[in-house]
Structure 1
């Protein structure tokens, strides 16, 4: 099951990323917490788990689906069990003025499980899976590095996926405000020219 929020458009100057107003209340968060781990649960069982009426649960799930808080229901698949035992992260630097072509291009490549435009040294990060290391090499050199928009590529093989959560909800995150005040401000590296307006849809 995939549950996401709409992404921020950009970083606001040199400050931390803008915080969004919550789009769901405590009851909705309890519903989402159950659904992210069991998208096939019945409305009756879900209502019992979150301690609200069945009609209320049905209406809330329907509303969150229509509003885009819940983006869909799907099976969680173990990549290794279907033969994709190798996971790699590919960090890409893109030539200036090539962002739209790069973004449109990677969206058409079925090998890519995840792509994010990033701040910092590299411009984008791709997550790919393959049968063996040779396939990773073929993908990086023959598909990504071969694209005219790409300036350079760095790839790393993932040795162990320690945590793979379906979705982190606001209710999962503990309050660390006092710790942040003790440690001082965190500096975020802003996006390079052309990257700050790129978002996924």
Structure 2
């Protein structure tokens, strides 16, 4: 999905500064814990607080760091069923479909892809009945959706999307 994200900084046309090893260590540390203080971050990457502060500001300005968010446990939110829903949509309708899925709180992440399907959604629901309702009554009701394919997630490892990245919701 190539439209400019309103949350993302607008490019000034200038090339961002290349990342060095210290920048990458700062980014890695903030990916692991976005709440690190400048002091803790400086201690972790072994540079001064002033240097960390300046680098974080530059990384934010250059659009490398887009924001900070909480990682949540969907089970503790009462969302114990997760699935990947593949959508096949009518040609040239992805913007319209994106607007519609942004209004669905159960959609935590959406990706425009190539191949047999056009969009892959990460959805989280309270139970199988809620998943069935989401797919059969809400997603398939979008006029441009031609087909769906749902894959139930049995377990998640690694960095899953930290929370809702589409529209608003839990």
Aligned pair in 2 of structure 1 residues 99, 41: CA closer, same or farther (>3 Å)?
closer
Aligned pair in 2 of structure 1 residues 80, 23: CA closer, same or farther (>3 Å)?
farther
Q: Deviations over 1:32-77 (max 9, x none)?
A: 1111112222211211111111100001111212222111112111
Larger RCO, structure (CA 8 Å, separation 6 or more): 1
- TM-score, normalised to structure 1, is 0.69
Q: CA deviation at 1:108?
A: 2.4
Q: CA deviation at 1:131?
A: 0.7
Question: Could you say which residue in structure 1 is the equivalent of 2:24?
Answer: 29
Aligned pair in 2 of structure 1 residues 73, 145: CA closer, same or farther (>3 Å)?
same
When the two structures are aligned, how many residues end up with a matched partner? 151
Q: Where do 4+ consecutive residues of structure 1 move more than 3 Å?
A: none
C-alpha root-mean-square deviation of aligned residues, in Å? 2.3
Structure 2 residue runs of 5 or longer lacking an equivalent are: 4-15
Q: Highest CA radius of gyration, 1 or 2? A: 1
Q: Hey, what's the Cα distance between the residues in 1 that align with 2:77 and 2:101?
A: 23
Q: Hey, what's the Cα distance between the residues in 2 that align with 1:32 and 1:143?
A: 38
Structure 1 residue runs of 5 or longer lacking an equivalent are: 1-6, 10-20, 168-199
